[in-house]
Each structure stands twice: as structure tokens, then as C-alpha cells.
Homo-oligomer: A and B are copies of this chain.
Amino acid sequence: MIGVDWGTTSLRAYRIGATGAPEARIDRPGGILTVPEGGFPAALREAIGPWLADGETKVLLCGMVGSRQGWVEAPYLPCPAGPAEIAAATSPIPFEGAEIRLVPGLTTRDSAGIPDVMRGEETKLVALAESVGTALACLPGTHSKWAHLEGGRVTGFATHMTGETFAALSQHTILARTSTDGPDMPEAFARGVDRASQPGGLLHHLFGARSLHLMGALAQDETRSFLSGLLIGHEIAAAAEGIRHVHLAGAEGLAGLYAAALAQRGITVTRHDPDLVAAGLRHIGRSLQWI
């Protein structure tokens, strides 16, 4: 089978053999935003045509290709969901020469009944869920996902808009004046994490990044890391309340910051390779009896 993670800015395809091991991999910049209207079949054929010509007949797609901006909008599947539920909810897409199915996103509701959604992360999470038992997993990022995993399934999750909030605040508020780009400053980051556990609320703590600088207690090149620690600290305080251990899968730099902040709050961490999509596609493909 072929598994494809087709996101906003890139396309990654994996050729997965009968044993489940990825045999080949393609990485391309052609994210869904670069595909012209009606151009998805041709774009996919351009990417994986040689594998189709070589006899592959099953293609499983996940990621933003299933969003309103993508090829076909795949509905969100309610939690709890594992490979079997996700496989049963995949949508067929007509395509000449191969059977294509689209992985659904997941949805859940929090204790107040407010919905949450993910698309793409569900495929990573089923790979994690297979190996970690009952656990809380964190996929940090623009929209960080915190998921409860149990029995190989995602039982619920919460999204925190931390990365995007950091970008907006550090570039488009008074903090931009002092949020110069530069190397991470671990001590300033730790001060931000520490500040997040104090009273006053996030909106007050944000102004502290300004007033600390005005009063000479935070250097210009420290503001950005302080703000990062403040936001990640607030995220962790809310997402991991009462939790002692977190499974963390993310790109090296960002996952390193989360690991440091979690450790600072006394939470132990297991780090995972962030490249989980191939394994997740394989699990779902197995439930489809494609391998």
C-alpha cells in the first residue's frame, strides 16, 4: 500500500510493504495550498505515479487534504477512535487505477460540551497509542494537541493555540519591539515558565514581559524566550493538570522546550520520534486489510 500525509505545505508519501515496513519515501513541497482547483488527481499521480505503475493499488491519504481547502472534505469522527474505527470511517475518492481512501479527522467535546477537532494528528496518535498504553500525549506546535490514549485508541483531546498565539503576540504587539530574533535563552525561558504558575492570569503576565524590560529586569534579547516560556507554561498548567508523565512527539527544538518546561513543573517525559505518520498509516491500512 501507499500512505500519503498531504498537508498545507508539503506532501510525504510512503510505500509500505506487506510486512508493514516503509520501503521508500517521497518528500515534496507541493502542499495542498499549491494545488490548483481540480488538480488533486494530477498532483497525486505526479508524486506516486511510479509506485502505481509498479503495481501498488491502494492509497491511504491523511492530513489537510481532507479539509475544506483540500481534495474532498472528510467528516470528523468522534472519539474514542483507534485504527479500526478510523479505517471504517475512511472515505473513498474515485481515482483511475487505484483505490484511494481518505482518513477522517477526529472530534471530541470537553466537559463543558465545547467541540474540538484535529486533522492529520490522529494518524500520528494511533501510532503512539499502539505503543504507550494508557497515557497523555503531547504533539506541540502551532496548534498543540494533548491527547488521552487508551487501549490503542484516542479517547479525547484538547487543542491549545500556543504556537500561533506566540507568533501573533511576538510580531504584532508592543512586545515585538523587544522580541528580537536570536538564540533561545534557557534562563529567560525558565523564568517565563515559572511566571505562568503565579497568580494574575495570562493577559496580565503578558504585560509583565514589557514592564520587566522597562524596569531593566529582562534584557531585550531575553524577551522572546520569556514570552515562549510564559505561553508554554500556561499551556502545560492547563493541559497537564494533575498529570505526572507525558509522552512527547515533536520537532527537536520545540519538543526540547516542552520537555524543559514539563521537567520544571515536575512532570516526567518520554520523548518519541516525531515521524509517526508512516506507522499510523500502516496501522489504519492493516485495519482495512490492505496489508
Which positions in A face B, CB cutoff 8 Å? 76, 107, 110-112, 114-117, 143, 158-162, 164-165, 167-169, 171-174, 195, 198-204, 206-208, 210-212, 214-215, 217, 231, 234-235, 237-239
Assuming the A-B contacts A201-B237, A237-B201, A238-B201, are A212 and B164 also in contact, with contact meaning beta carbons closer than 8 angstroms in the complex?
Answer: no
4 pairs of A and B residues whose beta carbons are closest in the complex: A201-B238, A160-B203, A159-B207, A168-B168
Q: Which of B76, B159, B203 contacts A161 (CB 8 A)?
A: B203
Q: Once the chains bind, are B231 and A143 in contact (CB under 8 Å)?
A: no
Assuming the A-B contacts A172-B172, A200-B238, are A114 and B164 also in contact, with contact meaning beta carbons closer than 8 angstroms in the complex?
Answer: no
Separation in Å of the A145 CB from the closest CB of chain B?
10
Bound form: Cα–Cα A208–B108 in Å: 11
Separation in Å of the A166 CB from the closest CB of chain B?
10
Q: Once the chains bind, are A203 and B162 in contact (CB under 8 Å)?
A: yes
Q: Once the chains bind, are A200 and B169 in contact (CB under 8 Å)?
A: no
Separation in Å of the A210 CB from the closest CB of chain B?
8
User: A195 — which chain B residues lie within 8 A by C-beta?
Assistant: 112, 114
Separation in Å of the A130 CB from the closest CB of chain B?
26
Q: Once the chains bind, are A239 and B112 in contact (CB under 8 Å)?
A: no
Bound form: Cα–Cα A174–B195 in Å: 27
Assuming the A-B contacts A198-B112, A203-B234, A207-B159, are A215 and B165 also in contact, with contact meaning beta carbons closer than 8 angstroms in the complex?
Answer: no
Q: Which of B117, B169, B239 contacts A168 (CB 8 A)?
A: B169
User: A234 — which chain B residues lie within 8 A by C-beta?
Assistant: 201-203
Assuming the A-B contacts A201-B235, A203-B231, A234-B203, are A217 and B168 also in contact, with contact meaning beta carbons closer than 8 angstroms in the complex?
Answer: no
Assuming the A-B contacts A112-B195, A143-B207, A237-B201, are A215 and B174 also in contact, with contact meaning beta carbons closer than 8 angstroms in the complex?
Answer: no
User: A168 — which chain B residues lie within 8 A by C-beta?
Assistant: 168-169, 171-173
